[in-house]
Amino acid sequence: MTKKKTIHHEKPMNRDMMQLANKKLFDYIEKQNFESIEELNKFLNNHVTGKTIDEIIPSKKGRKSNKEKSNDLMYQAYDSDSKKGIKLAKQALELNIENIRAYNYLAENADNIDKAYELFKKSIDLGEKQLGRQFFKENKGHFWAMHETRPYMTAKSGLANCLEVKGKNIEAVKIYQKLLELNPNDNQGIRYILSGLLIHMEQYNEFEKLYLKYKDEHTAFWLYNYALFLFITKGKSNRADKALRKAYNQNKHIIAFMTGEEKPTNEVFDYYSPGEESEASHYLLDNFKLWTETPNTVDWIFDFNEKLKQQN
């Protein structure tokens, strides 16, 4: 018998691929019935660290269920180009008509916003049916901690994004707020999207409430949006300048890109690192219009940048 060749991925796993791999690993670990944390850590160190999910989990003996086969197809879809991935996602649905990940994949690769909306809506309806009302009551507040919730949470975020594109911002805000109720730790970064949307809608009281919930946050996304909020509501003031300086210290590239002193790379970043160009690119992709649509903001940025040069 020819030994099956292990495929090593040169590119990083995307979000969905990682989620599915983590769920496979979590389910496998649960079945091992470890008697102590030490025993679990020993297993992780010896059998998990530095290995792919296919190397960790042995091939299942006997026939796989259609649900398992469907998930395997989605794992392949995440690692394929969109054309092949769409085909695999459709095959996954033939095996399991309730595969939420497949609907999400098709929604994210839909050729129009209405089709994406309907597919995400289908995912949400299935997620609520599969999880059940009691599950929502018992686990509200720490949803993301359970792997089975993540396809549902992804669909809900996707639906809110569709509503934004369709100009239905009030409905989108309600969904984003609901996601934060389900998971205040916000592993999805919903607060960043919502903060920008609230500023755009001139819902400054709601923005301030949101900001206070995460006031100890120090990411560029949070600090730059807060500086913009202060400029809009307080004008060109010491408080706004101080907030902008704090944001600048977190990521200098954002100011440099906005003033034209640095040219953004054409590279599309799947991931970003704090303080780096990748983070600046992600931030401006979502928020550049927000800055330019606010009167006098551009002048404020250039004045701020000139002061920085004089200080240096």
Query: For residue 270, what pLDDT is reported?
Result: 67
What would the two tokens of residue 46 be? Answer: 């010896």
- DSSP-assigned letters across all residues of 210-248: HHHHTTT---HHHHHHHHHHHHHHH-S-HHHHHHHHHHH
Query: For residue 1, what pLDDT is reported?
Result: 34
Kindly compute the dihedral angle of the four CA atoms of residues 127, 130, 133, 135, in this order, to the nearest 10 degrees.
Answer: -100
Query: Tens of pLDDT along 97-116?
Result: 999 999 999 999 999 999 99
What is the maximum span of the chain, computed from C-alpha positions, in angstroms?
74
pTM of this prediction exceeds 0.85: no
- Domain end, chosen from 188, 211, 240, is at 188
Residues of the chain with pLDDT under 70: 1-62, 266-270, 312
User: Would residue 6 count as lying in a domain?
Assistant: no
- What is the domain range of residue 273? 203-312
The answer to whether residues 104 and 209 belong to one domain is: no
User: Would residue 139 count as lying in a domain?
Assistant: yes
The answer to whether residues 15 and 158 belong to one domain is: yes
Query: For residue 78, what pLDDT is reported?
Result: 87
Query: For residue 5, what pLDDT is reported?
Result: 34
Query: For the chain, how big is the Rg over CA atoms in Å?
Result: 23
- Domain end, chosen from 140, 161, 188, is at 188
In terms of Cβ atoms closer than 10 Å to its own Cβ (0-12, 13-18, 19+), residue 151 is: buried
Query: For residue 310, what pLDDT is reported?
Result: 80
CB 215 within 8 A of CB 207: no
User: Would residue 197 count as lying in a domain?
Assistant: no
